[in-house]
Amino acid sequence: MEDAWNAGVKVTGVTIHYVDTGVDSGQIIAQTPVLISEDETIDELTERIHDAEHHLYAEAANIPVLQIRYPAFETREAAEQEIVKTLVADGVTGILLAGYMRILTPYIVQAFEQRILNIHPAL
């Protein structure tokens, strides 16, 4: 991605494909472009690509996605209240955290007590 950024490429993207013996040569399952804006940083682009990846993976697996941007709320508790409200309204009974790199507040833990599973890579 950084090479594309440095070369002035205007569009990058996300591709999900079957793994085979070649590199990036398996049948494509899903793909989405990500436009590169001239006024964004490499970190901002990286975040947008990760967002696109998460949505594309979920879409390919027919899994609904809820994305909450914490900076849009005054406090973490306010963001998590919105998360709980949405999850409960959608009938969610448990939460699987995959790559969730925040400490949950007591509010969300109490709302889903004994029904939260956290998995993440050990890097």
Catalytic center residues: 120
CA 77 to chain centre: 20
